[in-house]
Amino acid sequence: MRKFLNYLLSRPLGMGSLILIVILYLVMIFAEFVAPYAPTTSFASMTYHPPNLRFAGGFRAQEARVTNTVSWRYTRIRGLYTPVRFFAKGEPYRLWGIVPMERHLFTTGAVTGADGTAAPDYPVFLMGADSLGRDLFSRIVYGGRISLTIGFIATAISLALALLFGGLSGYSGGGVDWAVMRFSEFFMLVPALYLILFLRSLLSTKMDSGQTYMMITVILSLVGWPGSARTVRGLVHAIKREEFVLNAQLEMVPAPVIVASHIIPQIASLLIVNVALSIPGFIMTETTLSYLGLGIVDPAVSWGSLIKRDVTTLSNLKTYPWLLNPVWFLLGVTLAFNFLGDCLRDFHDPYHTIFKKPFFGKRRAAARSAKPAHAPRPLPGGLSRTALPGPTQGSLPGPPPGPLLEVKDLSVSFSVLRGTAAVTVQAVRGVSLTVERGEVVGIVGESGSGKSVTTSAIPGILPANASVAGSVLYEGTELLGADTQTLRRYRGKKIGMIFQEPGRSYDPLQNMRNVFFETFRNSNETITKTEAEEKALALLAEVGLEQGADRLSNFPHQFSGGQLQRVGIALALAQGCELLVADEPTTALDVTIQKQIVELLKSLQKSREGKDGKTAKRLSIIFISHNIDLVADISGRIVVMYGGLVMESGPSAEIRSNPLHPYTRALLASSPVLGSHYSQTRLSVIPGRVTDPAMVEPGCPFAPRCPRAGKDCTAGVPPLLDAPDSRLLRCIRSMD
DSSP per-residue string spanning 317-338: HHH-GGGGHHHHHHHHHHHHHH
**Does residue 457 surpass a pLDDT of 50?**
yes
410, β-bridge pairs: 431
**Does residue 16 surpass a pLDDT of 60?**
yes
C-alpha distances in Å from residue 441, one per residue of 316, 630, 632, 633, 661: 74, 12, 9, 11, 18
C-alpha distances in Å from residue 145, one per residue of 28, 31, 331: 5, 7, 16
Same domain, 103 and 238: no
Mean pLDDT of 181-207: 71
Tell me whether residue 654 is in a domain: no
Tell me whether residue 180 is in a domain: yes
Residue 363 binned pLDDT confidence (cut-offs 50, 70, 90): very low
DSSP 393: T
Least-confidence region, from 221-225, 462-466, 726-730: 221-225
Distance CA 80, CA 206 (A): 47
- Higher per-residue pLDDT: 106 or 187: 106
- Which range scores top for mean pLDDT: 95-109, 186-200, 428-442? 428-442
Supply the Cα-derived Rg of the chain in whole angstroms: 35
Closest CA to 563 of 588, 527, 583: 588
- For the sheet containing 727-729, what is the strand order? 495-498, 579-583, 620-625, 440-444, 637-642, 645-651, 727-729, 721-723
Tell me whether residue 227 is in a domain: yes
Q: What angle do CA 321, 322, 323 make, to 5 degrees?
A: 90
Same domain, 46 and 194: no
What local confidence, expressed as pLDDT, does residue 622 receive? Answer: 93
What local confidence, expressed as pLDDT, does residue 372 receive? Answer: 40
What local confidence, expressed as pLDDT, does residue 40 receive? Answer: 86
Same domain, 110 and 162: no
**Residue 467 C-alpha from the chain's centroid:** 19
Least-confidence region, from 273-277, 310-314, 616-620, 657-661: 310-314
**Does residue 385 surpass a pLDDT of 50?**
no
Domain final position from 137, 167, 191 = 137
Asked if 560 contacts 545 with a C-beta cutoff of 8 angstroms, the reply is no
In tens, the pLDDT along 33-90 reads 999 988 888 888 888 888 988 887 788 888 888 887 777 888 888 888 888 889 888 8
In tens, the pLDDT along 634-677 reads 899 999 999 999 999 999 999 988 899 999 998 888 877 766 66
- Higher per-residue pLDDT: 667 or 611: 667
| SS3 readout for 13-64 | HHHHHHHHHHHHHHHHHCHHHHCCCCCCCECHHHCCCCCCEEECCCEEEEEE
Same domain, 166 and 89: no
- Burial label, 566 (beta-carbon count in 10 A; 0-12, 13-18, 19+): buried
Mean pLDDT of 463-470: 87
- Which range scores top for mean pLDDT: 84-93, 350-359, 497-506, 607-616? 84-93
- Proportion of the chain above pLDDT 70, given as a percent: 81
Same domain, 320 and 254: yes
DSSP per-residue string spanning 214-272: HHHHHHHHHHHHHHHHHHHHHHHHHHTTSHHHHHHHHTT--HHHHIIIIIGGGGHHHHH
Mean pLDDT of 224-249: 78
Task: Give the total number of structural domains in the chain.
Answer: 2
Q: What angle do CA 678, 679, 683 make, to 5 degrees?
A: 30
Asked if 199 contacts 192 with a C-beta cutoff of 8 angstroms, the reply is no
Closest CA to 407 of 453, 351, 467: 453
**Does residue 405 surpass a pLDDT of 90?**
yes
Same domain, 53 and 157: no
Write the CATH number for 317: 1.10.3720.10
The beta strands (E) that lie in 96-196 are given as 99-108, 111-112, 118-119
- Higher per-residue pLDDT: 332 or 221: 332
Same domain, 147 and 217: yes
Q: What angle do CA 699, 702, 705 make, to 5 degrees?
A: 120
Asked if 581 contacts 623 with a C-beta cutoff of 8 angstroms, the reply is no
Helix (H, G, I), strand (E, B) or coil at 118: strand
Tell me whether residue 178 is in a domain: yes
Mean residue pLDDT of the chain comes to: 79
Strands 466-474 and 53-55: unpaired
Q: What angle do CA 616, 622, 624 make, to 5 degrees?
A: 155
Residue 393 binned pLDDT confidence (cut-offs 50, 70, 90): very low
C-alpha distances in Å from residue 677, one per residue of 362, 482, 665, 674: 57, 53, 21, 9
Distance CA 262, CA 209 (A): 42
712's CB contacts (< 8 A; 6+ apart) are: 732
**Does residue 471 surpass a pLDDT of 90?**
yes
202's CB contacts (< 8 A; 6+ apart) are: none
Task: Tell me how crowded residue 250 is: count the other CB atoms within 10 A of its CB.
Answer: 8
Tell me whether residue 316 is in a domain: yes
Asked if 355 contacts 10 with a C-beta cutoff of 8 angstroms, the reply is yes
336's CB contacts (< 8 A; 6+ apart) are: 16, 17, 18, 20, 21, 24
Closest CA to 471 of 425, 406, 386, 388: 406
What local confidence, expressed as pLDDT, does residue 623 receive? Answer: 92
Residue 193 binned pLDDT confidence (cut-offs 50, 70, 90): low
82, β-bridge pairs: 61
Asked if 374 contacts 469 with a C-beta cutoff of 8 angstroms, the reply is yes
Distance CA 266, CA 269 (A): 8
Same domain, 254 and 273: yes
Same domain, 202 and 337: yes
What local confidence, expressed as pLDDT, does residue 672 receive? Answer: 73
Same domain, 164 and 125: no
Domain final position from 137, 172, 198 = 137
Range of the domain at 285: 139-352
Least-confidence region, from 43-57, 252-266, 359-373, 488-502: 359-373
Same domain, 103 and 185: no
**Does residue 156 surpass a pLDDT of 50?**
yes
Closest CA to 671 of 658, 656, 691, 661: 656
In tens, the pLDDT along 20-36 reads 999 998 998 899 999 99
Mean pLDDT of 289-316: 74
Mean pLDDT of 314-323: 78
**Does residue 681 surpass a pLDDT of 80?**
no
Tell me whether residue 734 is in a domain: no
Asked if 585 contacts 498 with a C-beta cutoff of 8 angstroms, the reply is yes
| Torsion-angle region of 166 (φ positive above 0: left; ψ -120 to 50: alpha; else: beta) | alpha
Distance CA 584, CA 655 (A): 20
What local confidence, expressed as pLDDT, does residue 406 receive? Answer: 94
In tens, the pLDDT along 522-572 reads 778 888 989 999 999 988 888 888 776 778 888 888 888 888 888 888 888
DSSP 311: -
Mean pLDDT of 692-703: 87
HSE of 239, CA atoms in CB hemisphere, 13 A = 23
Indicate the helix (H) or strand (E) that contains 633. Answer: helix 628-634
Asked if 245 contacts 263 with a C-beta cutoff of 8 angstroms, the reply is yes
Tell me whether residue 415 is in a domain: no
Distance CA 88, CA 59 (A): 14
Same domain, 122 and 155: no
In tens, the pLDDT along 128-154 reads 888 888 889 999 999 888 888 888 888
**Does residue 232 surpass a pLDDT of 90?**
no
**Does residue 109 surpass a pLDDT of 70?**
no
Domain final position from 300, 328, 352 = 352
Residue 273 binned pLDDT confidence (cut-offs 50, 70, 90): confident
What local confidence, expressed as pLDDT, does residue 454 receive? Answer: 93
Tell me whether residue 560 is in a domain: no
C-alpha distances in Å from residue 421, one per residue of 290, 357, 692: 48, 8, 16
81, β-bridge pairs: 62
Distance CA 519, CA 535 (A): 11
Mean pLDDT of 495-502: 82
Task: Determine the number of helices (DSSP H) and then strands (DSSP E) in the chain.
Answer: 22, 18
**Does residue 103 surpass a pLDDT of 50?**
yes
**Does residue 349 surpass a pLDDT of 90?**
no
**Does residue 222 surpass a pLDDT of 90?**
no
- Higher per-residue pLDDT: 413 or 214: 413
Distance CA 140, CA 594 (A): 66
